[in-house]
Amino acid sequence: MTEIRAATILPARREPITLRTSDGLSLVGELALPAGRDPVATLICLHPLPTYGGMMDSHVLRKASYRLPALADLAVLRFNTRGSSSVHGTSEGEFGGGETERYDVAAAIAYCVAAGLPRLWLVGWSFGTELALTWGNDPAVEGAILLSPPLRRAGDAELDAWAASGRALTALVPELDDYLQPEEAKRRFARVPQADVIAVDRAKHLWVGEPYVRIVLNEIVRRINPAAWPLPTEWKESDER
């Protein structure tokens, strides 16, 4: 048995992908699939603000791709929004302040639909939650999980649209968040009857530390593939789910 640590990379089928937006850009991405079997659901990851270092390799999203295909039979699609860079490369275009990124979100959803990937869920983090709420309320999407939602670019109108859609919505809100803390988050999300707001004690906006990463990944799995919850903390090569 091997303990799953911050840098652990579990087996998966990983392939670089290119998303094509309807306004003519190519976006750099990666799709990680369970090794040797089909996924039961798909995560479309929307990263934090690129002007503050957010990218597809931001640590929680990277660790989701490293672990969840093996541990929970989830497909994990990550990509750099327009103008964003990571070790995987730089996507074409320029940062659009959350507006022109509508085409990026649409391209990711369309890619998953065309690839026949099952049960699409958005996982947005910080700026990525704004993209999910504003542009991800799509018939092809089953629900969204929001990590550290600031609710700045996305507001009551977007929340009301999610409420009307009936799509699942979960917000993980750090107790010590810099922008939106649990009590205010509960008040803001109350207009979405199906929203579940989870306060995470002592966590901060960036979810630094392995204990907080495990909380996030477990909450994702508990909602999307509860048969694989709770996630193990050790791995052996013969493990199969």
- 207-220 confidence digits (pLDDT tens): 999 999 999 999 99
Check if the beta carbon of residue 204 is closer than 8 Å to that of residue 177.
yes
Please return the burial class of 138, using the count of CB atoms within 10 Å of its CB with bins 0-12, 13-18 and 19+.
Answer: middle
Q: Reply yes or no on whether the pLDDT at 241 is more than 50.
A: no
- Check residue 11 and give its pLDDT: 97
What would the pLDDT profile of 24-46 be if each residue is shown by its tens digit?
999 999 999 999 999 999 999 99
Q: State the average pLDDT over residues 65-81.
A: 98
Structure tokens at 17: 């992908």
Q: Which 3 state secondary structure label does DSSP give 185?
A: helix
CATH architecture of the domain 2-229 equals 3-Layer(aba) Sandwich (3.40)
Domain boundaries, the chain: 2-229
Q: How confident is the model at residue 128 (pLDDT cuts 50, 70, 90)?
A: very high
Considering the entire predicted model, what is its pTM? 0.97
Range of lowest pLDDT (93-97, 136-140, 154-158, 234-238):
234-238
Percentage of residues of the chain with pLDDT beyond 70: 98
Please return the burial class of 227, using the count of CB atoms within 10 Å of its CB with bins 0-12, 13-18 and 19+.
Answer: exposed
Q: What are phi and psi of 68, to 5 degrees?
A: -75, -25
Mean pLDDT score of the chain: 97
Q: How confident is the model at residue 237 (pLDDT cuts 50, 70, 90)?
A: confident
- Check residue 158 and give its pLDDT: 98
What would the pLDDT profile of 134-173 be if each residue is shown by its tens digit?
999 999 999 999 999 999 999 999 999 999 999 999 999 9
Q: Reply yes or no on whether the pLDDT at 48 is more than 70.
A: yes
Burial 71-92 (b: 16+ CB within 10 A, else e): bbbbbbbbbbbbbbebebeebe
Q: State the average pLDDT over residues 69-77.
A: 98
Q: Reply yes or no on whether the pLDDT at 174 is more than 50.
A: yes
- Check residue 240 and give its pLDDT: 52
